[in-house]
């Protein structure tokens, strides 16, 4: 039976009960993180935990214990569940209270839950995927990793139903990011990606990719791409914690480059894989 994190305790499935009045359930009033585990080691844990506390602060929510303790708890959860390859999910809601929109009183404490999921470690996926562009109808605080994912869910479903792997979100023709990923185009050897702002999540994988770019002397322009320009990119790829770097072969049915991962994407995938805690086999 799996072990779960519930506030400051470790509990089994049958010991968990979450109130129907939890504000995460009513309002999506909470924040979350997903952290990869490679060879039993958390990857970029400090960055993810820092972002969790930043997201919480941005929604004016104070977590009952600090980042250091959170890291220890997450590490223990990974150990208790014997996770070698997989991820940890952790979320914090504002707590359980009768349903009114305004914050509950001071006596209501956040509810923290966490679980682990095991799956095989793979190196960056070389098999390219396709995207469908979808209007980005999310709110103006996409920098917060909030539980409110309805617009992301709707966009992903629209892409998925048409056989695509991910939705390429754009605001009136300006590309922002994916429904659960950051997006990068390559034109004439230069990478283009949306700058860090309130319109995108500052992805941890994005940050690792930027580090790789510095190490490889790979030029990057952090400016929004126009949707009409992405079709003419030489290469395109997306990044996320769960999937690392994923090459894109076509957007809206239009082939990118020759439809295969290009040299810039390949070099970044190799550089990214070298940063992982354990060597992983190519897919
Ligand atoms: N943007 C959105 C909207 C996401 O949900 C995610 C996945 N968490 C990302 C970008 C990628 O972020 P990260 O690399 O930290 O997983």
In tens, the pLDDT along 63-74 reads 999 999 999 999
Residue 217 Cα distances to 189, 244, 266, angstroms: 11, 20, 15
Residue 160 Cα distances to 165, 176, 235, 279, angstroms: 6, 19, 22, 31
How far apart are the CA of 98 and the centre of ligand 1, in A?
31
**Contact present, 175 and 224 (Cβ < 8 Å):** yes
How far apart are the CA of 201 and the centre of ligand 1, in A?
6
Per-residue pLDDT at 14: 86
Per-residue pLDDT at 47: 98
Query: Domain containing 264: what range?
Result: 129-274
Exposure string of 138-160, with b = 16+ CB inside 10 Å and e = fewer, is beeebbbbbbbbebbeebbebbe
CA-nearest residue, atom 9 of ligand 1: 181
Asked whether residue 211 is domain-assigned, the answer is yes
| Catalytic annotation present for 145 | yes
Q: How confident is the model at residue 278 (pLDDT cuts 50, 70, 90)?
A: confident
Reading the block at residue 68, the tokens are 């250091």
Nearest-angstrom CA–CA distance, 40 and 278: 9
Asked whether residue 123 is domain-assigned, the answer is no
Provide mean pLDDT across the span 155-178.
98
Number of domains in the chain: 2
CATH code, domain with 33:
3.30.470.10
In tens, the pLDDT along 118-148 reads 988 776 677 999 999 999 999 999 999 999 9
Asked whether residue 168 is domain-assigned, the answer is yes
Residue 20 has pLDDT above 60, yes or no: yes
203 Cβ below 6 A of ligand 1: yes
How far apart are the CA of 18 and the centre of ligand 1, in A?
26
91 Cβ below 6 A of ligand 1: no
Asked whether residue 139 is domain-assigned, the answer is yes
Per-residue pLDDT at 283: 42
In tens, the pLDDT along 92-123 reads 999 999 999 999 999 999 999 999 999 887 76
**Whole-number mean pLDDT of the chain?**
96
265 Cβ below 6 A of ligand 1: no
Asked whether residue 124 is domain-assigned, the answer is no
Residue 197 has pLDDT above 50, yes or no: yes
Per-residue pLDDT at 280: 60
85 DSSP β-pair partners: none
- Active-site choice (12, 71, 73, 145): 145
CA-nearest residue, atom 5 of ligand 1: 180
């Amino acid at each position: 039976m799996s072990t779960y994190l519930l506030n400051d305790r470790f509990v089994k499935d049958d010991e968990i009960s979450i109130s129907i009045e939890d504000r995460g359930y009513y309002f999506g009033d909470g924040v979350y993180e997903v952290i990869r585990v490679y060879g039993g080691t958390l990857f970029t844990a400090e960055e993810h935990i820092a972002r969790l506390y930043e997201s919480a602060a941005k929604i004016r929510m104070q977590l009952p214990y600090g980042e250091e303790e959170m890291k220890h708890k997450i590490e223990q959860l990974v150990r208790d569940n014997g996770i070698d390859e997989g991820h940890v999910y952790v979320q914090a809601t504002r707590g359980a209270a009768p349903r009114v929109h305004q914050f509950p009183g001071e006596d209501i404490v956040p509810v923290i839950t966490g679980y682990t999921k095991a799956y095989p470690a793979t190196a960056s996926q070389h098999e390219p995927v396709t995207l469908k562009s979808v209007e980005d109808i999310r709110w103006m605080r996409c920098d917060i990793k909030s539980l409110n994912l309805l617009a992301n869910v709707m966009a992903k479903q629209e892409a998925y139903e048409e056989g695509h792997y991910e939705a390429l979100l754009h605001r009136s023709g300006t590309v922002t990011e994916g429904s659960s990923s950051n997006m990068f185009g390559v034109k004439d050897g230069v990478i283009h990606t949306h700058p860090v702002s309130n319109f995108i999540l500052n992805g941890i994988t994005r940050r690792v990719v930027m580090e790789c770019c510095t190490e490889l002397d790979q030029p990057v322009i952090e400016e929004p791409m126009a949707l009409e320009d992405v079709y003419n990119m030489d290469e395109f790829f997306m990044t996320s914690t769960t999937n690392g770097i994923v090459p894109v072969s076509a957007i809206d049915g239009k082939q990118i480059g020759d439809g295969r991962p290009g040299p810039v994407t390949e070099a970044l995938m190799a550089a990214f894989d070298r940063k992982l805690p354990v060597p992983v086999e190519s897919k």
